[in-house]
Amino acid sequence: MNDFVFQSPTRFVFGRGYADRIGGEVAALGAKRALLVYGGGSVVRTGLLARVTASLDAAGVGYVELGGVRPNPEVGIVRKGIELARHEHVDLVLAVGGGSVIDTSKAIAFGTSYQGDVWDFFMRKATIGACLPIACVLTIPAAGSEASGSCVISNDELDLKKGVNGDVFRPRVAVLDPEVTFTLPQYQTAAGAVDIICHICERFFSGAGAVPVTDNIACGIIRAVIDAATTVTATPDDYDARATIMWSGTLAHNDLCGCGRASAPTKRAGGWESHGLEHEISAHRPEVTHGAGLAVILPAWMRYVWRADRERFLAFAKGVFDVEPVDQTDEATQDAITYAIDELQRFFVSLGMPRTLADLDLAPAEVDGWLQTLRQNKGERFGELRPLTMEDARAIYLSAF
């Protein structure tokens, strides 16, 4: 087991109807005036925004609203939020939404005290210093931003989607109310389940060997998500299944599943190859849902690299699908591993996720553009289990059509 530092400072407030508790939670942080950030309108339609503002009113916390964050959020709305936060002298940023809204809130929170342009942080031209506290009411279990030390923002002008990492902007409090996810469209539920599983896989397939405690947690969460996502596909208002997915999404990405698997204690575990490949797609095509892109990319990456670490892939096959090779031969190993990869993809497709990039209305002619920005983001080689060159990346993209 490699050395690690695990910091998950968020207070999780989890339960049925708990969205109404957000005002008290924010007040307990000492906040007097919040910037209330939300997305394209689902929280207005479902009545959640009204519940949140009533809860803030009851707790005596003032607020100013910033709506309209799109999926795969863009730096433009972050800049707008920073101006608003300064002008209104807010002392906390409250996100009501999913990864896109929470990441926008994080960027506003660390951009407000910085005198330069917030995009500097994403270009590594500035280091994050002071940061307003962040709270959230999560509406979609997927990105895990409610507990993660990551923030991912796109810049349409540059065709770039970039992340920054840091513990300082992990949310201070996250209200997780599974009932608010009953209104999710099946496509978003499915994309969320894929993203959750992928966050675990990125860490499971780090270059490190077996770490039994972490590996068992990882495979257990994946199995729980597979069962629960199958249940909500048939019964969207199954509370226990929704609750299972919601808590899984948090544990998948608060770094619990990486303990002992990172190459250095201060590094996140894993090479994040599938995320690196997918982010270029949703950078160039913001209409592609992150999890839907991953549903295609993750199995394609697995098929391309499994020979580099058979033991890890056998551990995955056994831990998630209870499959083992029938004997010690290469052929039996290959059969067990490819069965597990196929089974994972069959599960994604069973939820309504795409099987190929063509299913996402993407064309092979777009690959050159993705590679250009991938090189900008990652250099000539990236990844850990099997470092990928740009030619490897091309081969993986093309294999996914």
Q: What residues line the site for ligand NZQ (CB under 6 A)? A: 39-43, 46, 71-72, 97-101, 103, 139-140, 142-145, 148, 150-152, 180-181, 183-184, 188, 192, 195, 253, 275, 290-291
Q: Which stretch binds Zn ion (CB under 5 A): 187-195, 210-218, 315-323, 360-368?
A: 187-195
The residue (of 56 and 292) whose beta carbon lies closer to ligand NZQ is: 292
Rounded alpha-carbon distances, angstroms, from residue 57 to 65, 71, 86, 401? 14, 28, 22, 51
String of b and e for 66-80 (b: at least 16 CB within 10 Å)?
bbebbbbbbbebbbe
Please count the residues of this chain forming the interface with Zn ion, following the rule CB under 5 A.
1
Q: Cα(56)–Cα(98) distance, rounded to whole angstroms?
A: 20
CB of 294 to Zn ion, least distance (A): 6
195 near Zn ion (CB under 5 A): yes
Which of ligand NZQ, Zn ion, none lies near 377, with the C-beta cut-off 5 to 8 A by kind? Answer: none
Strand duo 11-14 + 62-66: pairing: unpaired
CB of 156 to ligand NZQ, least distance (A): 13
CB of 40 to ligand NZQ, least distance (A): 3
Burial class (CB in 10 A: 0-12, 13-18, 19+), 20: middle
The residue (of 91 and 202) whose beta carbon lies closer to Zn ion is: 202
CB of 114 to Zn ion, least distance (A): 26
74 near Zn ion (CB under 5 A): no
280 near Zn ion (CB under 5 A): no
The residue (of 71 and 299) whose beta carbon lies closer to ligand NZQ is: 71
φ, ψ (nearest 5 deg) of residue 194? -65, -45
Q: Cα(74)–Cα(154) distance, rounded to whole angstroms?
A: 5
Encode 302-342 in three state secondary structure: HHHHHHHCHHHHHHHHHHHHCCCCCCCCHHHHHHHHHHHHH
Rounded alpha-carbon distances, angstroms, from residue 18 to 51, 170, 174, 177? 10, 20, 11, 5
CB of 206 to ligand NZQ, least distance (A): 16
CB of 360 to Zn ion, least distance (A): 16
CB of 192 to ligand NZQ, least distance (A): 6
Which of Zn ion, ligand NZQ, none lies near 214, with the C-beta cut-off 5 to 8 A by kind? Answer: none
Which DSSP category does 145 fall into?
Answer: T
Which of Zn ion, ligand NZQ, none lies near 184, with the C-beta cut-off 5 to 8 A by kind? Answer: ligand NZQ
* DSSP element (H, E) containing 240: helix 239-253
The residue (of 51 and 203) whose beta carbon lies closer to Zn ion is: 203
Task: Report whether 94 contacts 35 (CB < 8 A).
Answer: yes
CB of 278 to Zn ion, least distance (A): 8
The residue (of 253 and 284) whose beta carbon lies closer to ligand NZQ is: 253
Site string for Zn ion, 151-180 (x = CB under 5 A): ------------------------------
Outline where 29-170 has alpha helix (H).
42-45, 48-59, 75-87, 99-111, 119-122
What SS3 state is found at 395? helix
Residue 93: strand pairing partners:
35, 134
Task: Report whether 178 contacts 13 (CB < 8 A).
Answer: no
Residue 155: strand pairing partners:
160
255 near Zn ion (CB under 5 A): no
CA atoms within a 13 Å half-sphere pointing along the CA-CB vector of 370: 26
The residue (of 126 and 292) whose beta carbon lies closer to Zn ion is: 292
Taking CB atoms, the residue at the shortest distance from Zn ion is 195
Which of ligand NZQ, Zn ion, none lies near 43, with the C-beta cut-off 5 to 8 A by kind? Answer: ligand NZQ
> What residue ranges bind Zn ion (CB under 5 A)?
195
